[in-house]
Amino acid sequence: MTSTNSTTISVLGAGAWGTTLAILLARNHHPVRLWGHDAHHMGMLAQQRINSKYLPDIPFPESLEVTADLRDAITAAGVILIAVPSAGFCGLLDQLAPALHPGTRLAWATKGLEPRTGRLLHQAVGDRFGGVDTAVISGPTFAREVAAGLPTAVTVASASEAYAVQLAQWLHNSRFRAYTSSDIIGVQLGGAIKNVLAVAAGIADGLGYGSNTRAALITRGLAEMTRLGLAMGGHRDTFSGLAGLGDLLLTCTDNQSRNRRFGLYLGQGKDINAAVKNVGQLVEGLPTTREVHRLAAETDTEMPITEQVYRVLFEDRSPLAAVDDLLNRQLKSEEQ
């Protein structure tokens, strides 16, 4: 069990993952504030001491405070941990900029890229908060399993080794293990690209292509994830670790993954709007596909699976035709 820490940690984002991280940190005896933008929703959380929408069986620890006031959430916070969807990430940074206290450190568990630019989220943070210690938390995690206390491991990446170690220590307990990394580029890319590949895996399963196809898709998907990661300055080992292969396997093989379920519906013949509606939650792989496709073009990186997912989502290519395009590509060495 971790020791009590006096640093207040503010978790911004009261969805499933933000709530789970707040619960985890509070269980580890840290003072935690959980913020969400919806005042009515946050009022219900404060009254019921549970997030009935996402985690109906997980009560809040006593040290977890709830607020809908952003300024209140970050007042006296030593660390701010952002866990909002990538589409809202930069808007939240803009809200934080005039209110952030000197010395406050930032971290995020958001998996995605900056909309319309494809930039990594640490670049968006650096534009607004140069010189601030930053870190990203990523890895194979379903919120419900973490909240239920099932064994889980993640990666904490930062340019500051001391900050990465401290965050890892705060997160760590007998059921949650945190490893550290200096590869903030690779860890972020792994967390973003795996959502695109999970859509592809869902499409293949929705078409009824079976386990052989899924295994091949995951393996070749990892190859293109690694190619783009190296082209952008990531470390090769990162993509065979928790934030790469680990997260990819999880999201491509388990129906708790929204991106995989979205792909399943597409493979079964539903259109994009119907598939999103059936998932019932934000599908990060949808906007991320556009941005990863952009990065592949900018870096001249071959990403055939991503290319076909992009065509299905944005060029009206049928899933069946997209698979045929992949299978009919020119033969080449597996090392390419």
CATH number for position 48: 3.40.50.720
Final residue in a domain of this structure, among 139, 165, 182: 182
Euclidean distance between CA atoms 28 and 285, whole angstroms: 32
Is 333 inside a domain boundary?
Answer: no
Domain count, the chain: 2
- 194 is a catalytic site residue: yes
Is 335 inside a domain boundary?
Answer: no
Is 336 inside a domain boundary?
Answer: no
Shared domain for 124 and 137, answered yes or no, is yes
Q: What is the extent of the structural domain holding 166? A: 9-182
The DSSP secondary-structure symbol of 246 reads I
Q: Render each residue's pLDDT in the chain as its tens digit; 336 residues.
A: 444 567 899 999 999 999 999 999 999 999 999 999 999 999 999 999 999 999 999 999 999 999 999 999 998 899 999 999 999 999 999 999 888 888 899 999 999 999 989 999 999 999 999 889 999 999 999 999 999 999 999 999 999 999 999 999 999 999 999 999 999 999 999 999 999 999 999 999 999 999 999 999 999 999 999 999 999 999 999 999 999 999 999 999 999 999 999 999 999 999 999 999 999 989 999 999 999 999 999 999 999 999 999 999 999 999 999 988 888 887 777 776
Euclidean distance between CA atoms 30 and 151, whole angstroms: 20
Final residue in a domain of this structure, among 130, 162, 182: 182
What is the distance between the terminal CA atoms of the chain, rounded to a whole angstrom? 46
Shared domain for 74 and 138, answered yes or no, is yes
Q: Is 300 exposed, middle or buried (0-12, 13-18, 19+ CB in 10 A)?
A: exposed
Final residue in a domain of this structure, among 182, 206, 240: 182
Is 205 inside a domain boundary?
Answer: yes
Is 58 inside a domain boundary?
Answer: yes
Closest alpha carbon to 178 in 116, 243, 234 = 243
Is 3 inside a domain boundary?
Answer: no
The DSSP secondary-structure symbol of 75 reads T
Is 4 inside a domain boundary?
Answer: no
- pTM assigned to the model: 0.94
CATH number for position 202: 1.10.1040.10
Task: Determine which one of 111, 194, 277, 332 is catalytic.
Answer: 194
Give whole-number Cα distances, 327 to 54, 113, 208, 225, 323, in Å: 39, 29, 16, 19, 6
Closest alpha carbon to 106 in 120, 91, 117, 122 = 122
Shared domain for 39 and 178, answered yes or no, is yes
Shared domain for 167 and 194, answered yes or no, is no
Shared domain for 141 and 215, answered yes or no, is no
